[in-house]
A = this chain, B = another copy of it.
Amino acid sequence: MSSYSDLMDFTRETAALSLILDRLGWDMETTMPKGAAGQRSEEIAALEGVIHARRADARVGDWLAGAENDPEADPAQLREIKRSFERATKVPGDLAAEIARSVALAHNVWAEARASEDFAGFAPTLERIFDLRRQEATALTSGDLYDALLNDYEPGATGQSIAAMFDALRGPTVDLIDRIKGADQPKALSGHWDAEKQMEFSAKLAEVFTYDMSHGRIDRAVHPFSSGSGKDVRITTRTDEAAPLDCFYSTVHEVGHAVYEQNVRDDLGLTALGRGVSLGIHESQSRMFENQLGRSRAFCSWLGPQMAEAFGHDLGDADAFYGAVNRVTPGFIRTEADELHYNLHVMLRFDLERALLRGDLAVTDLPEAWNTRFKADFGAEVPSPSKGCLQDVHWSFGLIGYFPTYTLGNVYAGCLHEALRADLPDLDADLAAGQPAPAIDWLKERVHQHGASRLPAQIIRDATGAAPTEAPLLAYLNTKFSGIYNL
């Protein structure tokens, strides 16, 4: 046996154990009895401990050294295993344990502070989390601290390059929104939409978007999510009998994540590369499915009549339905935002968390900084912390460097969509026939199948012939919303 084959055998088991974590997480949100939460947290902690110990196992270091000059060894596998080994070994055990403990406690503190609109009650906890993760970043790198954290979610990306991209995106986005403000607003859907029928319709939509139900399933949960990889990738959606579009586009969004995972090449399964490569590329797929494909004029011209028939509602003409699906409305809450406002929400968080990590912004000054920036970008006063800097769960989980991947996903989707349109001249005809499959085949070929064997920037370059930029996204948004709002 070579070092490399030993390393791959060991990694295969670690990958299998990681898949179990996904299943436990899914179960918690769908089928787990309420009273089992405490026991489940012990199960998850025990399994995470096992996985962490395996990632940091000294033998992994030895095998990596032994495999370095092995011509049989896949450099991408070694790169990814090495990244996870260094991540697991560079951070002192005490610090890792302290982060895990603090984050476990922080969630409740945040939830209570949000419920009682009490930012001061959360501030010391938030300060501690930023401090601990700053220490972690310092252990990981001699370079930029933010990049060390970002690297976990978006390998190869840097805060600086993202900042440049986002700064270029921000002005034109605000301009476009300003122009929309003066225009006629399309009417939202109304009426009652049966929840069970929404679930049936979701299953049909999932199939249309090539979700493989023999390796997946759809359940209802409080928050829509996709979970798992390879041969078992499950999604959830939610229903609101007044808002069917929330259900359907949540479904299509999660199907985008899930199909990416289902389409990873079989030979990468149960290896370090057998998953989507980054949160940004993941989000590019979910957003592409949801927006560039699912909210396109062509697809809406198919979807509207399908919904009208399934639910017995009159949805007006194709323009009315397309408008209802793509209404632009400002709001305080990120998760409820439309395609334009969403990126403004993300950019605000990205700038603030970088400043907090650098120490340029004190945690106690966060609400003021948030509200000032919000006023500048959205033109409205934030009425209370729960509608401002206390709205998101991420920082309480210690997730710093995570937010930008949402908008990075939109930027990537813009790039991929431009290239896809150039390659598939019949795309609109396909979508108007309820057939996104040719577009998804294109994505499978260029993105999905590679799993984590290519880094994000490389995937975009290989698929589009150019490095990712915000320009295609801006062009797409301008064309789309100028059309809808007759600008």
B17 touches A50 (CB 8 A): yes
The listed residue with most B CB atoms (<10 A of its CB), out of A20, A32, A47, A214, is A20
Cβ of A383 under 8 Å from chain B? no
Cβ of A19 under 8 Å from chain B? yes
B20 touches A47 (CB 8 A): yes
Say whether, besides A215-B36, A217-B33, A24 and B17 are in contact (CB < 8 Å): no
Contact with B along A359-371 (1 / 0, CB 8 A): 0000000000000
CA gap between A202 and B32 in the complex, in Å? 19
B47 touches A17 (CB 8 A): yes
A38 touches B231 (CB 8 A): yes
Cβ of A373 under 8 Å from chain B? no
Contact with B along A207-251 (1 / 0, CB 8 A): 000001111110000000000001110100000000000000000
Within 8 A of B (CB), among A33-69: 33-36, 38-40, 42-43, 45-47, 49-50
CA gap between A35 and B211 in the complex, in Å? 13
Point out the residue from B12, B32, B46, B230 that lies within 8 Å of A232, measured CB to CB: B32
B214 touches A39 (CB 8 A): no
| A-B CB contact pairs (8 Å), 16 listed | A16-B42, A16-B47, A17-B47, A19-B39, A20-B46, A33-B214, A33-B215, A33-B216, A33-B217, A33-B231, A35-B214, A38-B231, A39-B230, A39-B231, A39-B232, A40-B232
CA gap between A214 and B34 in the complex, in Å? 6
Point out the residue from B27, B34, B269 that lies within 8 Å of A23, measured CB to CB: B27
Please name all residues of chain B whose beta carbon is closer than 8 Å to the beta carbon of A42 when the two chains form the complex: 12, 16, 270
Cβ of A13 under 8 Å from chain B? yes
Cβ of A31 under 8 Å from chain B? yes
B45 touches A16 (CB 8 A): yes
A383 → B minimal CB distance (Å): 37
B35 touches A231 (CB 8 A): yes
B213 touches A33 (CB 8 A): yes
A55 → B minimal CB distance (Å): 14
Please name all residues of chain B whose beta carbon is closer than 8 Å to the beta carbon of A47 when the two chains form the complex: 16-17, 20
Please name all residues of chain B whose beta carbon is closer than 8 Å to the beta carbon of A13 when the two chains form the complex: 45-46, 49-50
A264 → B minimal CB distance (Å): 12
Q: Which 6 A-B pairs have the closest CB atoms?
A: A36-B232, A16-B46, A35-B214, A39-B231, A13-B46, A35-B215
CA gap between A449 and B98 in the complex, in Å? 36
A326 → B minimal CB distance (Å): 33
Please name all residues of chain B whose beta carbon is closer than 8 Å to the beta carbon of A17 when the two chains form the complex: 43, 46-47, 50
CA gap between A351 and B481 in the complex, in Å? 80
CA gap between A217 and B36 in the complex, in Å? 11
CA gap between A216 and B32 in the complex, in Å? 8
Please name all residues of chain B whose beta carbon is closer than 8 Å to the beta carbon of A215 when the two chains form the complex: 33, 35-36
A227 → B minimal CB distance (Å): 12
A217 nearest CB neighbor, chain B only? B33
A269 nearest CB neighbor, chain B only? B39
A43 touches B27 (CB 8 A): no
CA gap between A269 and B35 in the complex, in Å? 14
Say whether, besides A39-B231, A232-B39, A217 and B31 are in contact (CB < 8 Å): yes
Please name all residues of chain B whose beta carbon is closer than 8 Å to the beta carbon of A231 when the two chains form the complex: 33, 35-36, 38-39
